[in-house]
Amino acid sequence: MSQHIIVLEGLTKKYGALIAVNDLHLTINKGEIYGLLGPNGAGKSTTIRMMLGLTEPTAGIVRVCGIDSTVNPIDVKRRVGYLPDNVGFYDNRTGLENLLFIARLNRTTDAEAHARAKELLDRVGLADAMHKKAGAYSRGMRQRLGLADVLIKKPEVIILDEPTLGIDPSGVREFLQLIVQLSREEGLTVLLSSHHLYQVQQVCDRVGIFVGGKLLANGDIPTLSKQLFTGDSFVIEAGVRYPNPAHAETQRMQLEQTLRDTSGVSSVQVVGERFRIGCSEDMTALIARIIVQAKIDLTYLSKKEYGLDDIYQRYFEGGQTHEQVA
């Protein structure tokens, strides 16, 4: 089977005059953790709904596990687990009872259902809470039960919509670790839709940035960072002090010129006693040496690497409105 487990070609969805998803081309590889990022209304849910066969595309192709989701939505649903942002359970039943109920819907025998449910509750860290009523579960526990629920049918792909919403930081960390572990150990493909850039950055192999129904960027974070901040992948900030105030201006100008002439430096900005130096690679050590050799005191040095928040921010500068059908 192809390594491309999700394939979208020219996928488009129009709601009247609004183009909710606009000519989307994307492939996701088997075993990959892919982050779908974008503000409210960017088209993420509509794309997920088309992948699951819940909404028919206006144009284009959507294939999941080699199956056309539009033509065979039931087959796709058998192979794909979907965890919505707020999964519903029977609150007056225990975690185990909730899972058994789902397992039976999937036409497994009682013995199989019990074994699978217990194994999964253990897997998601709910072994000790399996006899507790789901209504008494915390938000984090509910999401973990939701994950067990999604995994019960042994999917090849899981789609998680804002899975960490409302979970406390340690719960988030555990949940994300679990996702990575499951993906790596079982070759599970994960599609994670989220607004939480830091979380996406921590776990996703690649990300797609959606704005106004269009996929504006797609790749791993170092690649996106290189594309957007050409020649400026690192910014090093240096705090300086001039030992002799009478020579401060001359020393400042000389240092600025030396830095500009240094190979690998693409920009130098000076604000008061701070130098902001853009470079194509990590030049922290060399910059420290240059400043000290110029007989200028170095008061601090900090290195900033562009992260997903900078990348995301940069895409928003381009505007975010949906196109309208003419």
Ligand X SMILES: Nc1ncnc2c1ncn2[C@@H]1O[C@H](COP(=O)(O)OP(=O)(O)OP(=O)(O)O)[C@@H](O)[C@H]1O
Q: Which residues sit at the interface with ligand X, rule CB under 6 A? A: 15, 18, 20, 38, 40-46, 322
Which element (helix H / strand E) includes 235? Answer: strand 234-241
Q: How far is the CB of 55 from ligand X (least distance, A)?
A: 8
Q: How far is the CB of 61 from ligand X (least distance, A)?
A: 18
Kindly tell me which of 86 and 257 has the beta carbon lying closer to ligand X.
Answer: 86
Nearest to 186 by CA among 249, 278, 119: 119
Helix residue spans in the chain (DSSP H): 44-51, 73-79, 95-105, 110-123, 139-151, 169-186, 197-203, 221-228, 248-261, 284-293, 308-316
Kindly tell me which of 153 and 322 has the beta carbon lying closer to ligand X.
Answer: 322
Q: How far is the CB of 292 from ligand X (least distance, A)?
A: 50
Kindly tell me which of 102 and 197 has the beta carbon lying closer to ligand X.
Answer: 197
Kindly tell me which of 50 and 265 has the beta carbon lying closer to ligand X.
Answer: 50
Kindly tell me which of 43 and 81 has the beta carbon lying closer to ligand X.
Answer: 43
Residue pair 207/218 in contact (Cβ under 8 Å)? The answer is yes
Q: How far is the CB of 58 from ligand X (least distance, A)?
A: 12
Tokens matching residue 14? 């129009």
Q: How far is the CB of 21 from ligand X (least distance, A)?
A: 7
Kindly tell me which of 22 and 225 has the beta carbon lying closer to ligand X.
Answer: 22
Instruction: Say how many CA atoms lie within 13 Å of 323 toward its Cβ.
Output: 11
Instruction: Please enumerate in sequence order all residues whose Cβ is within 8 A of that of 199, keeping only pairs 6 or more positions apart, or say none.
Output: 164, 172, 176
Q: Point out the residue whose Cβ comes nearest to ligand X.
A: 45
Distance CA(97)–CA(99), nearest Å, equals 5
Q: How far is the CB of 309 from ligand X (least distance, A)?
A: 17
* Phi, psi angles (nearest 5°) of residue 238: -125, 130
